Amino acid sequence: MHKLPALLLFLCSCAVGVAVHLWLRGSFYGCWWWSFSGLSVLFPQWEPIHYDLVVGILSARHNFELRNVIRNTWLKSFKHDPALNQRVQVKFIIGAHGCDIPVEDREDPYSCRLLNITNPILKQEMEVFIIPEAASSVLSEDRAVSVNFRVLYPIIITRLGVFQDNSIVGFERNITVKVYQAEHEEPLFSARFSPTSSGVQVDRLWYKPVEQFVLPEGFEGTVVWESHDPIGLISRNLHKVILNDGGGVLRLTTVEEGLLRYELSESVEGIAGGFTYTIHEGEALLQNLNSRPERLLSHLTKLEEEDALLKEESSTYQDIVFVHIIDTYRNVPAKLLHFYRWTVESTSYDLLLKTDDDCYVDLDNMFQRIVQKNLKRPNIWWGNFRLNWAVDRTGKWQELEYPSPAYPAFACGSGYVISKDIVQWLASNSDRLKTYQGEDVSMGIWMAAIGPIRYQDNLWLCEKQCETGMLSSPQYSPEELTKLWEKREQYGTPCACEER
């Protein structure tokens, strides 16, 4: 009952739009399709509106303010300009699910993995490996073996150790044990074992104390055992030992997970000894764990509130595409692929613009340039490309699965435009495409496979800068975006000086 007047109103406004813009391909049918999408089954000849450009804005769930500012700034002109309105479809891309673990209880802020520490062992030195009695040591020919680990809660390594040789009494070997921090060429600390300086024997290992550093949460380390003795090292396979993770404060990162080893490529994976460690600031850890249940509960409540707000926002503005992933940084590449699939299944267009919710975008400039440079063509990727960009093995941009030291060309953060045929290729292969740490570099790696025409354009700014004629610029706060837009409206350019 209530639907009828609204529908009529919609049809009227649509009819006006059609009258004014008869030149727009497909808009007449499109209008009907949107109004009676249910009927399109009965009348399959009705096609959706064909847009020149679909805009996908990657947005985090909680960025309500940024989205509203975008709606009231660079999207405003297109909303109120019927010509543009028929040519552009804009969607915010948002993960349907929030991470149900509070940030402080995650392994890292970029994924949704629980920092799973239970019954941590405090104020006590622990040996990192438990070696079953039955397992025998293997005399290998390897000159160097190594193991990678990741620190989940700060620890201090107190001693480094090497295996005892069962066949002889005392210590006859020459072995150096080094601990590296990922991507660093110099070891952080080391210990040398020799017949004249063998340290202390504890069960089946010889230990020596080392300089004590606090290895922080997120620390990626490698322990390397090296020997130049003709007889090689006594080592064990990682499967033959049990990790004593102190309740969950550290984890081994192994080749089996498909992860890269750091550039210590001459060593083989394994252990030729161990180390002892203590948990740093264990009291704080205990307190943190004790308050966890409460924190989890209040986080879930907040998540429900967020869900409700998002639902409301979506029904008010009709400009959100919810994709079925957990909304974390590491999932952004998957988020993008989901969106590409959505566009292919749900809408009709020539070009797709991908940008982020902290970007200033100038759609007018963009359309001018598309015409000027004749960019409405297949097989095109228009952006500002980073070339020979080094792959980080630690930190926010940590990438352990892409083996090269440098990424293939990728468009920098503020946005890019690709043609529909490329989106179609991505969408139809989305089940198979491997996602890497970031959405921008993943796109570069995927594109390397099909090699579209890269149209380099410096007006897609990679940094937060203002340039007259810019297509987009990243990293703004809601206030800054508002300011830019005010200046554009007042002076014709967002980069005008304030004092005039």
Ligand X SMILES: *[C@@H]1O[C@H](CO)[C@@H](O)[C@H](O)[C@H]1NC(C)=O
- Of the pair 151, 351, the CB lying nearest ligand X is at 151
111 lies in the site for ligand X, by CB under 6 A: no
- Of the pair 81, 217, the CB lying nearest ligand X is at 217
174 lies in the site for ligand X, by CB under 6 A: yes
**Distances 496 to 433, 479, 485, 493 between C-alpha atoms, Å:** 43, 16, 11, 6
Q: Where are the beta strands (DSSP E) in 152-284?
A: 155-163, 175-181, 189-193, 200-202, 205-209, 214-215, 220-226, 234-235, 242-243, 250-252, 268-269, 273-279
293 lies in the site for ligand X, by CB under 6 A: no
Stretch of residues binding ligand X (CB under 6 A), selected from 83-91, 114-122, 216-224, 422-430: 114-122
Measured from the CB of residue 227, what is the shortest distance to ligand X in angstroms?
Answer: 8
Query: Which of positions 419-478 make contact with ligand X (CB under 6 A)?
Result: none
> Contact with ligand X (CB under 6 A): which of 114, 202, 264, 303?
114
Measured from the CB of residue 251, what is the shortest distance to ligand X in angstroms?
Answer: 11
CB atoms within 10 A of CB 235: 25
130 lies in the site for ligand X, by CB under 6 A: no
116 lies in the site for ligand X, by CB under 6 A: yes
Joined together, the tokens standing for residue 87 give 């040519």
Measured from the CB of residue 53, what is the shortest distance to ligand X in angstroms?
Answer: 43
Give ∠ CA 20-92-321 in degrees, rounded to 5. 95
- Of the pair 173, 299, the CB lying nearest ligand X is at 173
Residues 6+ apart with CB under 8 A from 322: 94, 95, 96, 310, 314
Stretch of residues binding ligand X (CB under 6 A), selected from 98-106, 169-177, 387-395, 442-450: 169-177
Between 210 and 239, how does the x/- string for binding to ligand X read (CB under 6 A)?
Answer: -------------------xxx--------
- Please state the length of the chain: 500
172 lies in the site for ligand X, by CB under 6 A: yes
Measured from the CB of residue 154, what is the shortest distance to ligand X in angstroms?
Answer: 19
* Half-sphere exposure of residue 187: CA atoms within 13 angstroms, side-chain side: 17
139 lies in the site for ligand X, by CB under 6 A: no
Question: In this chain, which residue has its C-beta nearest to ligand X?
Answer: 229
Distance, C-alpha 41 to centroid of its chain: 39
> Contact with ligand X (CB under 6 A): which of 173, 335, 369, 386?
173
Strand 348-356 relative to strand 50-58, pairing? parallel
304 lies in the site for ligand X, by CB under 6 A: no
- Of the pair 62, 106, the CB lying nearest ligand X is at 106
Measured from the CB of residue 248, what is the shortest distance to ligand X in angstroms?
Answer: 6
* Half-sphere exposure of residue 443: CA atoms within 13 angstroms, side-chain side: 28
- Of the pair 183, 229, the CB lying nearest ligand X is at 229
244 lies in the site for ligand X, by CB under 6 A: no
The SS3 assignment for 294 reads helix
DSSP assignment of 328-389 equals -GGGHHHHHHHHHHHHHHH-EEEEEEEEETT-EE-HHHHHHHHHHTT---SSEEEE-EE-SE
Q: How far apart are CA 397 and CA 410, in angstroms?
A: 14
Q: How far apart are CA 176 and CA 143, in angstroms?
A: 11
Q: Which residues bind ligand X (CB under 6 A)?
A: 114, 116, 118, 172-174, 229-231
